[in-house]
């Protein structure tokens, strides 16, 4: 259960980092997606 919580938090952090990348570095993010 504890591991599941850590995994959930890790996914949330990754999503927040991806969102920040889209907002702060749009050109770099677009290149990464495409």
Rg (CA), the chain: 13
Task: Give the per-residue pLDDT at 6.
Answer: 95
Task: Give the per-residue pLDDT at 29.
Answer: 53
State the residue range of the domain holding 8: 1-33
The total number of structural domains in the chain stands at: 1
Surface-to-core class of residue 29, CB atoms within 10 Å of its CB (0-12 exposed, 13-18 middle, 19+ buried): middle
Q: Note the pTM of the prediction, 2 decimals.
A: 0.54
Give residue for tokens 């999503």. 15
Task: Give the per-residue pLDDT at 23.
Answer: 79
Label residue 25 left, alpha or beta by phi (over 0 means left) and psi (-120 to 50 means alpha).
beta
Q: What is the residue-level pLDDT of the chain in tens, covering all 34 positions?
A: 899 999 999 999 999 998 887 777 766 556 665 5
């Amino acid at each position: 259960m504890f591991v599941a919580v850590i995994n959930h938090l890790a996914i949330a952090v990754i999503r927040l980092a991806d969102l920040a990348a889209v907002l702060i570095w749009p050109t770099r993010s677009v290149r990464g997606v495409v």
